[in-house]
Amino acid sequence: MTRTPREVWDHIASTELRGTPLEALRRERGGVPIEPVYFGEDGAVPGVEPYTRGVRATMYANRPWTIRQYAGFSTAEESNRFYRRALDKGQKGLSVAFDLATHRGYDSDHPRVAGDVGKAGVAIDTVEDMKTLFEGIPLDAVSVSMTMNGAVIPVLAMFIVAADEQGIGPEALSGTIQNDILKEFMVRNTYIYPPEPSMRIVGDVIGYCSEHMPRFNSISISGYHMHEAGATAVQELAYTLADGIDYVRTARGRGLAIDSFAPRLSFFFGIGMDFFTEIAKLRAARTLWSDIMTGLGASDPRSKMLRTHCQTSGVSLTEQDPLNNVVRTAYEALAAVLGGTQSLHTNSFDEAIALPTETSSRIARNTQLILQHETAVTDVVDPLGGSYYVEALTEQLVVEARALIAEIEADGGMTRAVQSGAPKRAIEEVAARRQALIDRGDAVIVGVNRYRLETEDGVDALEIDTAKVRAGQIERIGAVRRARNEENCAFALNALREYAAMNEGNLLEAAIAAARARATLGEISQAMEDVFGRYDATQSMISGVYADQYAGDPEFAAARERTDTFAQRHGRKPAILIAKMGQDGHDRGAKVIATAFADIGFAVEMGALFETPQEVAAQADALGVDAVGVSSLAAGHKALVPELVAALKARELGDLAVFVGGVIPSGDYDFLREHGVTEIFGPGTNVLDAAFTVLDRIEGRLTNR
């Protein structure tokens, strides 16, 4: 006898509710009785393969999504205080943001990270830092998500040891480690080792968690950073799921049966302002992953469920009229919820200006609480299911993403594609095209290229004293090193090094022993770097995309005429070096500027990622450029830019024009100008306007020589 969709849903929902009567899910709103689920003509059922309508039959009607705010504030002590307050005020899970030094496997005392310690997240150097981070937080009851990829081995090892020393074994820990290295090579760039050993690390983490941490997600396959880099919805879907395919292959290559680890795989998507497309994207992702895992041989239904965390878009936030960002974040959060996310982070309105304050973080968290408690969106499973528009968008995304995945697979899979650089170039082209549309006003951004305020009120910005934080971290590292048994520590680090060299054993297991012996994060990372080496990506630049979007535009033509005139007068193009200093790997802004300026007629040189100010100055000297453009997104500008200006002066290049662009509080502008910066371009700056300004300063410099 064939069951109706209602009967199928009733059966699954009853199982999920574990004895609670189905009647408990029914609601009444405005005098109208509300059923927990509605069925269309296609009979699609939530909680049933391919899970288009949701991975659980009851979804939020039974239990709302997890509010999981991503946060880390300079020191473990300060972050711990923030986490405990957030949990007291309704947050259900923790999501740890680490500083860039930690991401890149450096201890806080390393000379390359002087401007990065405690910026954009919490500094973790030792097990003692990790214990402080979670002091007073019941790790067997609170799930912990950690956005960590490059230094995943030492960070997860320290988390496991810290929990164990607080009386909680690995089997009781719940949460997620991101452990998604392919997208780092593609867009985010906080990698450490080359691709091949990095994929080995992914497999070792999945293997260890599969055996010892049954409640813990061993990988969060992330499209979010592709979204932030400018990827289309189709690209984000296809590249993310193709990454997932290669991770499954890697784990199976370790001898793991697919259904032994696949139920603990999770995903992470960005949610932007294209409201209905973002809803359809999550529905399409679930459909595609179910089909993919069936094709790979999974039989456990949990292996085929795409469970995802979502984060509202950072790139949609604007420096101009920043309170508009509260509204943007609310719409994006609603899209994530209507799309069926399992957990959600909402960005703070001030993140295009600086690190979020406690006030802005509270507004971001309350955005989710209001959605859960005041809007009634939790009453019904997949409320847009059956909408002709959403269903058509879902199917269109499925078809187009499936075709792109097939292309990637035909060329050897995502690891090979990432090594070729093709996905990165494709995303950069889209990002450049999008920026041109904004600059032309064809894509309207309220408060930026239309409906601008004549004057704007400032907002309070969080200030991190990097020097003070770093000094404290260095002191704590010294205390740990003085107290530890050096012989035991050296033995554990040598064992880790041998595991890496012999391609035997589990690297995470060896790192846990090293962390227990109080090896620092940098020492554990260096032990593997001694064998694997540190990866240096080759920077490349696309061309022609920005110019194509501006074909026939008189303002663009005027800019080209300016650079042509310059070239005729000086026998060369105006030359600019685009630099990324410190450990911030987010290079979307730098790549967009480089592409646009090259199309306008500049001779553009792209510096390497992760350079020191002294290295940038040396490169500027060797290239003989007219200007240096510094891209800064991680709050290191007050430490790194003055150091760059000093390094240029030491090379007798004190008159070289230095421009800074990115996430910079307006309150820092005077400081930067006093330290020799020529001009500052915040988020939302029109690229053509910036090009005219740079040309003016370069011509003025040459005239005054």
C-alpha 695/C-alpha 678 separation (Å) is 12
Q: Counting every residue, how long is the chain?
A: 705
If one counts every other C-beta atom within 10 angstroms of the C-beta of residue 450, the result is 9
Task: Examine the pLDDT at 425 and tell me if it is beyond 70.
Answer: yes
pLDDT at residue 630, rounded to an integer: 94
What is the per-residue pLDDT across 233-265, written as a single tens digit (0 to 9) for each?
Answer: 999 999 999 999 999 999 999 899 999 999 999
Mean pLDDT, residues 457-478? 85
C-alpha 534/C-alpha 181 separation (Å) is 14
C-alpha angle with apex 19: 17 to 23, nearest 5 degrees? 70
**Alpha-carbon separation of residue 291 from 242, 470, 618 (angstroms):** 13, 48, 52
pLDDT at residue 498, rounded to an integer: 96
pLDDT at residue 682, rounded to an integer: 82
**Given pLDDT bands bounded at 50, 70 and 90, which one contains residue 1?**
low
Distance of CA 17 to the CA centre of its chain: 34
**Given pLDDT bands bounded at 50, 70 and 90, which one contains residue 120?**
confident
If one counts every other C-beta atom within 10 angstroms of the C-beta of residue 670, the result is 10
Distance of CA 156 to the CA centre of its chain: 18
Q: Which of 60, 83, 193, 224 is catalytic?
A: 224
3-class DSSP assignment, residue 67 = strand
Q: Which of 70, 83, 239, 247 is catalytic?
A: 70
If one counts every other C-beta atom within 10 angstroms of the C-beta of residue 407, the result is 12
Specify the range with the lowest mean pLDDT, choosing from 127-136, 278-287, 609-618, 660-669. 660-669
Q: At what angle do helices 521-532 and 507-516 cross, to 10 degrees?
A: 140
The answer to whether residues 685 and 693 touch, using CB atoms and an 8 Å cutoff, is no
Cα torsion angle, 350, 352, 353, 356, sign: positive
Between the two ends of the chain, the Cα-to-Cα distance in Å is 90
Task: Examine the pLDDT at 640 and tell me if it is beyond 70.
Answer: yes
**Given pLDDT bands bounded at 50, 70 and 90, which one contains residue 209?**
very high
Mean pLDDT, residues 318-341? 96
Amino acid at 227: H
Q: Write phi, then psi, for 119 (nearest 5 degrees).
A: -90, 140
Query: Which DSSP state fits 581?
Result: B
Q: Which of 119, 345, 580, 591 is catalytic?
A: 580
Is 247 tagged catalytic?
no
Task: Examine the pLDDT at 601 and tell me if it is beyond 80.
Answer: yes
Half-sphere exposure for 553 (CA within 13 Å, toward CB): 18
If one counts every other C-beta atom within 10 angstroms of the C-beta of residue 433, the result is 17
Is 89 tagged catalytic?
no
**Given pLDDT bands bounded at 50, 70 and 90, which one contains residue 43?**
confident
Alpha-helical segments (H) within 484-532? 486-502, 507-516, 521-532
Task: Examine the pLDDT at 533 and tell me if it is beyond 80.
Answer: yes
The answer to whether residues 57 and 16 touch, using CB atoms and an 8 Å cutoff, is yes
C-alpha 53/C-alpha 48 separation (Å) is 8
Secondary structure percentages of the chain, helix, strand, coil, to 5: 55, 10, 35
What is the per-residue pLDDT across 53-100, written as a single tens digit (0 to 9) for each?
Answer: 999 999 999 999 998 877 777 899 999 998 898 888 877 788 898 999
pLDDT at residue 705, rounded to an integer: 65
Task: Examine the pLDDT at 634 and tell me if it is beyond 70.
Answer: no
C-alpha 626/C-alpha 590 separation (Å) is 17
The answer to whether residues 353 and 666 touch, using CB atoms and an 8 Å cutoff, is yes
Q: Which of 225, 424, 637, 638 is catalytic?
A: 225
User: How do beta strands 93-96 and 343-345 pair?
Assistant: unpaired
**Given pLDDT bands bounded at 50, 70 and 90, which one contains residue 44?**
very high
**Given pLDDT bands bounded at 50, 70 and 90, which one contains residue 581?**
very high
pLDDT at residue 528, rounded to an integer: 98
Mean pLDDT, residues 401-415? 96
Q: By C-alpha distance, which of 10, 128, 79, 74 is closest to 464?
A: 74
Q: Which of 586, 591, 637, 638 is catalytic?
A: 586
C-alpha angle with apex 354: 353 to 355, nearest 5 degrees? 145
Task: Examine the pLDDT at 40 and tell me if it is beyond 90.
Answer: no
The string over 530-551, giving b where at least 16 C-beta atoms fall within 10 Å of a residue's C-beta and e elsewhere, is ebbebbebebebbeebbbebbe
What is the per-residue pLDDT across 156-181, written as a single tens digit (0 to 9) for each?
Answer: 999 999 999 999 999 999 999 999 99
Arithmetic mean of pLDDT over the chain: 92
Is 675 tagged catalytic?
no
Amino acid at 194: P
**Given pLDDT bands bounded at 50, 70 and 90, which one contains residue 531?**
very high
pLDDT at residue 465, rounded to an integer: 78
What is the per-residue pLDDT across 99-114, written as a single tens digit (0 to 9) for each?
Answer: 999 999 999 999 999 8
**Given pLDDT bands bounded at 50, 70 and 90, which one contains residue 132?**
very high
Q: By C-alpha distance, which of 151, 55, 157 is closest to 98?
A: 151
Is 584 tagged catalytic?
yes
Is 580 tagged catalytic?
yes
Distance of CA 641 to the CA centre of its chain: 24
pTM: 0.92
Mean pLDDT, residues 208-215? 94
3-class DSSP assignment, residue 651 = coil
pLDDT at residue 585, rounded to an integer: 83
Is 291 tagged catalytic?
no
- Tokens 């509605």, residue located: 38
pLDDT at residue 378, rounded to an integer: 96
